[in-house]
Amino acid sequence: MFESLAHGFAVALSPSNLLFAVVGVVLGTVVGVLPGIGPPTTVALLLPLTYGLDVTAAVIMLAGIFYGAMYGGSTTSILVNLPGEAASVVTTFDGYQMAQQGRAGGALAIAAIGSFVAGTMGVLGLTVLSVPLSELALRFGPPEYFGLTLFGLTLVAFLVAGSMVRGLLMAALGLWLGMIGLDPVQGTPRFTFGILELADGLDFVPVTMGLFGISEILRNLRRPQEMPRALRAAIDWSHSLREVIHARWAILRGSLVGFFVGILPGGGAIISSLLAYALEKRLARDPSRFGHGAPEGVAAPEAGNNAVCGGALIPMMALGIPGDPITAILIGALLVHGLAPGPMLFVERPDFAYTIIFSFFWSNIFTLAIALLGVRLLVKVLDAPKAVLIPAIAVLCAIGSFALRNSFFDTYVMFAFGLLGLMMRWLGMPVVPLILALVLGRPLEENLRVALTASKGDVSTFFTSPISLGFLLLSAVSIAWPFVQQWRRRGSPA
């Protein structure tokens, strides 16, 4: 094992392979920063660039693209309140507020360093714990995944500030929107109203761009004053570093949460970011700071989001099972280059297996360096005049929604949800529960129905499994806890 580790370290450290890692990180960051692209799409788009390379260089370049795309998705969430993927939605809670308060440099630095720490912990965990933890992932079936997804969904209501009833109503609307399209089991159309384009359902990208991007544009058009330009041309690095230090424990806790969620095939970055954010809000001395620019509110979800990468690599490397969409693409890339991930990879080619692991480590370092060097350039985005910034955001939203399926229908959906988002802001209805319920609704339904089909309709299958029962109990607690707190506040003496 130690010989294989040393060989993998030496191969990954060669100048040519380091160059491929840098190129991959730059390409991944540039493409991943575009709204609506997201890490899986970025990796898929840039995958053909690796076909002419040998297998080692190809995997190292893919690792760079992987980490670059993961960080790039957080940039638009912080700067212009436009999440590039579902997992970045949670980052908008406090990241965009920090940007509006002139602390965009601090938010981007927290995201970069949090991503680096989480990625490093993920690689270390992958090196040491890949085999024993992969056995844990095999214990999860449809009942367990249903409990996990339900728990993630109930956290949405827990995270919403203000009226919990409104949060639950928006989550219910998101679940209904997620049911539009073909039935996942029987294949029959539901709520399509005869519109062929709705057979595939409502995609996350145009819905999110409408609710966040277009509604924000429309809201700012109504303001007579300029959009807030709280950013300075020069970044106060000492202040940004203090904010990173202040959020250090949030980064560590978020990294642990994301790593263990990532081990579960299909656990997903969105659930880990929700769990990490909810944990920090629960542990905070003053939870009211969250949603108003708390550094921990950026550190926790970004660390949780990126630590999923290392965790998801464990079932991919040890079992050949994709832990998320990105690792599914990476498995396909390895197969194209003649390698099959799984237990035999560590037996037959341990040197190459550890080369892959160390390539992720170096890509993580280069991502941090490029992110910190680019912060000064990125924060100048908000210093652009309103007449430049608003059309630029609108064009990016239109391109991102159209490029999804090369269909103007998705662009129409984006503008429709932009109007809906503006209306929801006027009425004081939270947007986030709708988005997250839309994303989590389909896997929730699929696992529910598969579990019931396998048990012939016996609902006790969700309670006989200790793991599933544990998640169901946590779901009940997360729903009841805000009501208990509200009752205790009413009952306490003034």
- Which residues does residue 182 pair with via DSSP β-bridges, in sequence order? 189
- CA–CA gap between residue 437 and residue 89 (Å, rounded): 12
- CA–CA gap between residue 328 and residue 27 (Å, rounded): 20
Phi, psi of 182 (to 5 degrees): -80, 140
For 248-280, how does the pLDDT look when each residue is reduced to its tens digit (9 = 90+)?
888 999 888 888 877 766 556 777 887 888 888
What is the token pair recorded at 250?
């949030």
**pLDDT by residue for the chain (494 residues), tens digit each?**
566 667 767 777 788 888 888 888 888 887 777 665 666 667 766 777 777 777 778 878 887 887 787 777 777 778 777 776 666 778 888 888 888 787 878 888 888 888 888 888 877 777 777 666 656 666 777 888 888 788 877 776 656 555 667 777 888 888 888 888 888 777 788 888 888 888 888 877 788 778 877 877 777 666 544 444 444 434 566 677 788 888 888 899 988 888 887 776 655 677 788 788 888 887 888 878 888 888 888 888 888 887 877 777 777 776 666 666 677 677 777 777 677 776 666 666 676 777 777 777 888 888 888 888 877 776 666 566 667 767 777 787 787 777 767 778 888 888 898 888 888 888 878 777 787 788 778 888 888 888 888 888 888 888 888 888 888 888 888 777 767 766 776 665 54
For 116-156, how does the pLDDT look when each residue is reduced to its tens digit (9 = 90+)?
888 888 777 777 776 666 566 667 778 888 887 888 777 76
Per DSSP, 226 falls in state: P
- CA–CA gap between residue 120 and residue 314 (Å, rounded): 14
Exposed, middle or buried, 320 (CB in 10 Å: 0-12/13-18/19+)? middle
What is the token pair recorded at 264?
């579960």
Cβ contacts of residue 368 below 8 Å, gap of 6+?
A: 112, 113, 115, 116
- CA–CA gap between residue 141 and residue 118 (Å, rounded): 27
Closest CA relative to residue 39, chosen from 274, 319, 363, 298: 363
Question: Would you say 334 and 60 are in contact if contact means Cβ atoms under 8 Å apart?
Answer: no
For 33-68, how does the pLDDT look when each residue is reduced to its tens digit (9 = 90+)?
766 566 666 776 677 777 777 777 887 888 788 778
CA torsion sign, 427 to 433 to 438 to 441? negative
Pinpoint the alpha helices (H) of 160-268: 164-178, 204-208, 215-221, 237-246, 248-263
